[in-house]
Structures are given as structure tokens and as C-alpha cells.
Structure 1
């Protein structure tokens, strides 16, 4: 048995931060079922679980044609009224038969995919982590992408965003693995893809950990992109401060790793804090932003003092970027 899933994370297409009532409206995707919300430690809303039937080839690195039938679970999450996640996952189990059974059998086991024939757990786990999979293989990215699009197209959103950002994809798998395997292995792939291999006893509450990791990876990726676009060292302090403002207004207060992770998975966050050190990277980025805001504040104060003393500041009064202050 193994569990595989993918979490897509991106900026909610709404200019302002959504409050709890609006989050309920946006995530009301299932008739007769209400989204769950909470306000501590951060505003959080999760849609009712939905299920998509699949009857397809399962991924594998060996090229063997492994087939499975069942359902994929998916839900959407809004964090802080600002960040949207779409999570799709399934538990892959040995089938009750080596051929497809009536759909009533699979519908009675929501979120499970049964393998036809002898399962090849390691082969499937490695195949799911591959950057490219066969066109006819299980595609959790497409299932999550449709859910993401359904939420973003909600009439309760204005379709605008306060700044540019990139959607990230965290593809993960949990299975018992081989003896001596590390508890987790996080890899940054090409573009926006990240892969996470987890070793342990499969349990569906692992999805909360994966969603929390995906959220904080996206926050770190996004704040670093904002810093790069600020052109620190070449632009004027006022321009830099304006470009860094979205990080202060919309992102910095959302950093709370492990806040919604079950106790049984807290040790994995401790491992990530040790290496690669998520919070160290975040703290470094936040410090850099605050330093640049301080430089801009000092520049404005100096300009005000010069104006009051009867001296008109000539453009940017800060040291010229990229030039030696000793130059004539």
C-alpha cells in the first residue's frame, strides 16, 4: 500500500484578502455540504471532499503496464484569505481481483485505487515522482488543476491579484520503503515542480503535512522572487521599497510552519528545519526586506531635514548605487 498526491499552491485571484464568509462562498463546491473554517492560528478554510473516478494506467519507471481503478480524493484550501491550494491524492492498494469490478465496489471505498494484478510498490512510487509520465497514466496534476480553476473562476472573486506570482506543484508519495531509507527526501525539480518522498506507515493524515509544506515552500519561493524583482543595489530606495511592499502586506504574516500539522508528523518539520533550513531562509529574506525599508525611511527623513533647512534635495540623496562613494 502507498499514498500518492499532489498539492498545487498559488495566489488567490482577488485583490483584497477574503474574510471567512467569502471563503465559505468560494469553497462551497459541493451542494449540501459546508466548508470547514477556523481563525486560529491563521484564517483557514477547506472545501468538502470531492472524488473523481479513475480507470487508467498507474505510473511506473520499469515500463510495466500497471492498471488501477478507483477514486481520487480532492479538496481546496484557502489560507489567510490570500493563498489557494488544491490537493489531490489517493491510497493505492492491492486489488480484490485481477480484473475490474463493478463501479459500486470502488465507490464504496472513496479515495482508494485498486491495482489489477500484482502491485509493484517501488516501481509505482518512483514512476509517480518522475517529471514526465505517460499520457495515459494517472494524472493527479490535471485533477488538482481543474479544482484550482473552478475556485479561481468563482463569481465571488474579482479575478485580480495584488502582485505577480508563480503556482508551485508539490508531488509526494508515502510508502513503507526499504529498510534504512530516510524519513523524507525533498527535491526541487525543473520549474515549479517539487517532489517529496516520505517513508513510513501510510496514513491519510499525511496530507495535512504535505499541504503545510507546499504552502511554506510557495511562500519562500514567492518572497525570494519579489526580492529579485526589486533590483536591490541598482534601483533607488523608494522604488525598491515599493516593489517589496507586497511581501509585507500579503505574505510575511502567513509564515507558521507546522501550525496545522498532526503531532505524528511534527518530526518531519524538524528535519526540514535542520536541512535545508526553511525558517533560516525565510528569516534571511525578511531581514533583507526590512533593511531595505529602513534604508528608504532614512532616505525620506534625510530629504525632509534638508527641505526644512532650505536645501532642496537633488534627486535621490542616497549613495549612488553601484559606484564608489569616494569617486569625485
Structure 2
């Protein structure tokens, strides 16, 4: 058992990460961020200041007793708790994550709740789990009557957004949220860690991971949150630059688009800042094919070039300036 009480060697881990812009005009300072994410009075909010300011709420547990999603329709009952938490990056981007792990061996009948409460964030199946059917079913999304982890993550975001004494609900730019639905299974003997990342419609992304058996579920969660954050950043900036006017007459309109990106988003790009070193090769795989960092560098340079050009043009418009 790990220090968090979770089984450190589950056969499957699954979760969903919701990422969006915090609904407030200015980035929150550390004190306000800690207050915002105090989801439980009995546990402290964690703060990391390097390489950027990162605030994480205590874990909240949701008890469940329901069938798991499978693509074959097989009915597999699981009982236990889903762990969820929120994190805030530089007081600006909020993420809510809900996840669970499954042990290699379940039980032949339902146990008393005390059995499950000492395994926080773990669901214990009653009977056998068809592993591949569960992975495919989870990635396909929620089905009525089956476990819906995404709604648990969404409820965390909703709870945070209701804190009107801290949030003014006047964000500096409009940006759609994204959802990253992920699964992680053990690698077979002799296999290297691997990943398969896909983008769907309506902000949905899916990620299939194969990870070393000795790696705790928290490492997979950290990797997925890091990927979700940088995917959201790149998607948001790319959407804002799509169709950006180039005519000189549009200088002020262009500046209204570019300035919030510089003020609130460009400094947040720090890939692998909180990825377990064992998973660096997995991150490199995710980076290599789509070329996220290369695309981000190109977008950031385009923003800086546009700002420089607009500044020169506006300066030349001032009477008496050459």
C-alpha cells in the first residue's frame, strides 16, 4: 500500500481531466488560490512554487457502487471510492481530475464499506474484470447506469466556480475547456512504456497508456494533467491566432486579441515540469509525433512579431514621430 492508501500496483487506472481558464479577470495570488482550493477543512492545500506556482487541493473521495463501462456490454460491478482534486497553475488555469485504480484481484462478493474506505481512490470489482473491454468502454465515454468519472471532475469545477467572493466571472479572454479521458494498464514483461493520444470533437481527448507495473497511479495522473494543461494552452492560443487580421487598419483589434495571450498564457508553457522521471520517455513520445513544443514556439514567435510590427506602425502614426 502506498502512503496515500492506494494500491501501488493496480492492474488498471482510469480518469478524466477537465481543463479551463479560471473565470476571473486577474490571476489569483497564492493566498486567494489556497482559499479557493480548500475543498476539505481537515487537510491542507499543497503549494509548489518552482518552476511555476502550482496549487493543489486536498483529495475528495466519492463513494460508488455501480457497473463499470465496457464496450461489450458486460456487467462488471465495482465498489469503492473515486478520488478527485483540483489544481491551479499560476492562478490562471484550473484543472479538475477524477480517477480510480483497480487491483489485480477483486472479491467474490460485496464487502462492508470499511473494507473500501481504507483503499481511497480504488474500486474493487466483484468478480472478474475483462481488462481490454473495460479500457475500451471507459474511453468511449459514459453510458447510462454505468460509472461516470467525468461528471465527478465536472462537479469539482462547479463547486469552485460558485465561490463568488473570490471569482468575479469576468475572464480576460474566451476559451473553451477541454476533457482528457485516460486509461493506464501494466506493460507486459520486457515491454517499454507506450502511449496513444487522440483528439476528438467538442474538446475531447483520449490517452491510452501502458506503464511499468511498479509505478503508482499518482504518476499517471501527473502525466495526464501535464498533457491536458499543455494541450489546452496550445489549443487556446492556436484558436486565437486562427484568422488573425493582418491589415494595418486592424491594429487595435489585433492587439485586443494578442495582449491577453501575452499577459495570461505565454508564460505557462513549461512541459515536463511535474512529470515523473520514469515517464519522461512517454512524454517524449507524446511530443514527437504532434510536435507540441515546436508548434508552441512558432505561435509564441508569431505573437511577438505581430506585437513588434503593430508597435512600430502605431508609433509611426503619431504626429511628429519618424
**What TM-score does the superposition give when structure 1 sets the normalisation length?**
0.89
Counterpart in 2 of 1:224? 238
Query: 2:94 and 2:202 mapped to 1: Cα distance?
Result: 19
Is the counterpart of residue 244 in structure 1 residue 254 in structure 2? no
Query: 1:83 and 1:278 mapped to 2: Cα distance?
Result: 18
Counterpart in 1 of 2:307? 293
Query: 2:275 and 2:115 mapped to 1: Cα distance?
Result: 32
Is the counterpart of residue 22 in structure 1 residue 32 in structure 2? yes
Compare CA radii of gyration and give the structure with the larger one. 1
Query: 2:123 and 2:247 mapped to 1: Cα distance?
Result: 53
State whether residues 35 and 48 of structure 1, in contact with CA within 8 Å, keep that contact through their aligned partners in structure 2.
yes
Deviation at 1:233, TM superposition (A): 5.5
Over 3 Å counting, the alpha-carbon distance change for 1:63 and 1:181 in structure 2 is farther
Over 3 Å counting, the alpha-carbon distance change for 1:143 and 1:297 in structure 2 is same
The answer for unaligned runs of 5 or more in structure 2 is 1-10
Query: 1:20 and 1:279 mapped to 2: Cα distance?
Result: 28
Deviation at 1:272, TM superposition (A): 2.1
Query: 1:36 and 1:91 mapped to 2: Cα distance?
Result: 23
Is the counterpart of residue 55 in structure 1 residue 65 in structure 2? yes
Deviation at 1:32, TM superposition (A): 2.2
State the Cα RMSD in Å: 1.9
List 4+ stretches of structure 1 deviating above 6 A.
Answer: 178-182
Corresponding residue to 2:320 among 296, 302, 308: 308
Query: 2:253 and 2:85 mapped to 1: Cα distance?
Result: 39
State whether residues 66 and 146 of structure 2, in contact with CA within 8 Å, keep that contact through their aligned partners in structure 1.
yes
Query: 2:202 and 2:36 mapped to 1: Cα distance?
Result: 29
Is the counterpart of residue 107 in structure 1 residue 121 in structure 2? no
The answer for unaligned runs of 5 or more in structure 1 is 311-328
Counterpart in 1 of 2:4? none
Q: How does 1:247-258 map to 2 (within 5 A)?
A: 247-258=261-272
Deviation at 1:95, TM superposition (A): 5.0
State whether residues 237 and 295 of structure 1, in contact with CA within 8 Å, keep that contact through their aligned partners in structure 2.
no
Query: 1:200 and 1:41 mapped to 2: Cα distance?
Result: 26
Report the secondary structure of 2:155's partner residue.
helix
Q: How does 1:47-196 map to 2 (within 5 A)?
A: 47-94=57-104, 96-130=106-140, 132-154=141-163, 155-176=165-186, 183-196=194-207
**Deviations for 1:168-188, whole angstroms, at most 9, x for unmatched residues?**
000110002668687001000
Deviation at 1:309, TM superposition (A): 7.3
Deviation at 1:139, TM superposition (A): 0.6
State whether residues 23 and 78 of structure 1, in contact with CA within 8 Å, keep that contact through their aligned partners in structure 2.
yes
**What TM-score does the superposition give when structure 2 sets the normalisation length?**
0.90
Over 3 Å counting, the alpha-carbon distance change for 1:12 and 1:46 in structure 2 is same
Counterpart in 1 of 2:209? 198
Query: 2:317 and 2:249 mapped to 1: Cα distance?
Result: 17
Corresponding pairs, count: 307
Deviation at 1:301, TM superposition (A): 2.3
Query: 1:309 and 1:172 mapped to 2: Cα distance?
Result: 56
Query: 1:296 and 1:197 mapped to 2: Cα distance?
Result: 44
Over 3 Å counting, the alpha-carbon distance change for 1:178 and 1:189 in structure 2 is farther
